């Protein structure tokens, strides 16, 4: 900016000289009016902080002011051109350095429920990294769209129509590994996240995945991805927190009252894939059922009577962990924890619980930044 201001000043000087009447010629020199050239803002030079450069223009015998004027115009224009060129080059370099890497060789198909927080996490990741993908909305009643899969949950991500990725955190970790290293295929990367049989708190057999919060890259890539000592540990901690705690606050809050439950199911039916009868049944009977179930969930997860307080506390804990001096948990750019938390909270948009959260917590600025960087371009 400082160089550009000086270049503009040179151009003005040149035009002034061109417009000056013919200079008086003596036996030795053609005298040109003495002029002071100032750059906008602070002046820099060899004379110290208060130094202001002064330029005394002199021409040889029979010299012309117009020649000097042309020289100034050419010099100023060239300086301005170089300044703009360097500024654009620097800007493009910064954009390239900050832009997420694209995996354009992947054909991705996401099987989802739009209002599912785990599916929303995956979309946030794909949108932020600019990865094109197709969506198959799954009917939550019949689930015919995934009848071909032995894994019966969503999200499911199909890669190049042949490789199936299950579990939102595995999908995100595997794709991030691929984008960073590019040394292995998606199939090879999936071997780092083995399926394991486990039992949930009700004694039911479930499938879990090992290492699902880890991005599997070499030390050199890890040092670039996680420049500070604790950043990797913090990312894993908050990704797990989003799955194990934050997501369990959504249902009790969006179904907190009969009115909120009905509004939530109206949104779910509008955005989801339901038949006419299914939609009517889901909206009214589903809303009543989930209002009752939300009470059980509140007890199961030991929430307060006013579940909004737990939501507010969780969100404010997240903002406090980011700190006042960073835009995101990942610094100037979101990391996987930012994308996970944003994906979970986003499913409440348009509902009373979301409006209350934005009004009564400190999350607004971070959330608006996340909306901006994850805007999906069709």
**Whole-number Cα distances in Å, 132 to 48, 63, 109:** 55, 65, 9
pLDDT at position 26 over 80: no
The pTM is what?
Answer: 0.71
For 132-189, write each residue's pLDDT tens digit: 999 999 988 889 999 999 999 999 999 999 999 999 999 999 999 999 988 899 999 9
pLDDT cut 70: percent of the chain above it: 71
> Which residues, at least 6 apart from 231, have a Cβ–Cβ distance to it below 8 Å?
330, 335
CA distance 98 to 108: 24
| C-alpha gyration radius of the chain | 31
**Alpha carbon distance 49, 57 (integer Å):** 24
- The residues carrying an active-site annotation are 113, 116, 118-119
Give per-residue pLDDT as tens, 304-341: 999 999 999 999 999 999 999 999 999 999 999 999 99
């Amino acid at each position: 900016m400082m160089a550009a201001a000086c270049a503009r000043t040179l151009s003005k000087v040149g035009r002034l000289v061109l417009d000056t009447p013919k200079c008086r010629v003596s036996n030795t020199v053609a005298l040109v009016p003495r002029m002071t050239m100032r750059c906008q803002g602070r002046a820099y030079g060899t004379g110290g902080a208060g130094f202001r450069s002064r330029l005394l223009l002199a021409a040889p015998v029979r010299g012309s002011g117009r020649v000097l004027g042309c020289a100034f115009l050419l010099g100023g224009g060239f300086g301005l051109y170089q300044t703009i060129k360097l500024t654009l080059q620097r800007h493009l370099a910064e954009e390239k350095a900050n832009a997420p890497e694209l995996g354009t060789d992947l054909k991705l198909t996401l099987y989802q429920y739009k209002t599912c927080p785990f599916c929303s996490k995956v979309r946030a990741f794909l949108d932020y990294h600019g990865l094109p993908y197709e969506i198959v909305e799954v009917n939550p009643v019949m689930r015919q769209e995934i009848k071909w899969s032995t894994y019966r949950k969503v999200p499911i991500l199909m890669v190049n129509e042949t490789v199936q990725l299950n579990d939102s955190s595995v999908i995100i970790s595997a794709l991030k590994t691929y984008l960073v290293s590019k040394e292995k295929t998606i199939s090879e990367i999936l071997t780092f996240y083995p399926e394991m049989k486990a039992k949930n708190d009700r004694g039911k057999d479930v499938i879990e995945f090992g290492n699902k919060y880890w991005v599997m890259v070499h030390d050199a890539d890890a040092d670039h991805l996680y420049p500070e000592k604790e950043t990797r540990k913090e990312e894993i901690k908050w990704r797990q927190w989003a799955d194990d705690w934050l997501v369990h606050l959504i249902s009790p809050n969006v179904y907190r009252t009969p009115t909120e439950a009905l509004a939530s199911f109206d949104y779910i039916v509008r955005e989801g894939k339901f038949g006419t009868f299914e939609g009517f049944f889901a909206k009214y009977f589903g809303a009543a059922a989930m209002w009752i179930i939300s009470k059980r969930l509140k007890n199961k997860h030991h929430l307060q009577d006013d579940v909004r307080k737990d939501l507010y506390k969780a969100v404010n804990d997240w903002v406090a962990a980011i700190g006042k001096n960073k835009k995101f948990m990942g610094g100037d750019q979101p990391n996987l924890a930012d994308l996970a938390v944003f994906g979970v909270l986003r499913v409440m948009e348009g509902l009373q619980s979301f409006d209350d959260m934005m009004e009564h917590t400190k999350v607004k600025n971070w959330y608006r930044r996340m909306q901006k960087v994850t805007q999906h371009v069709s």
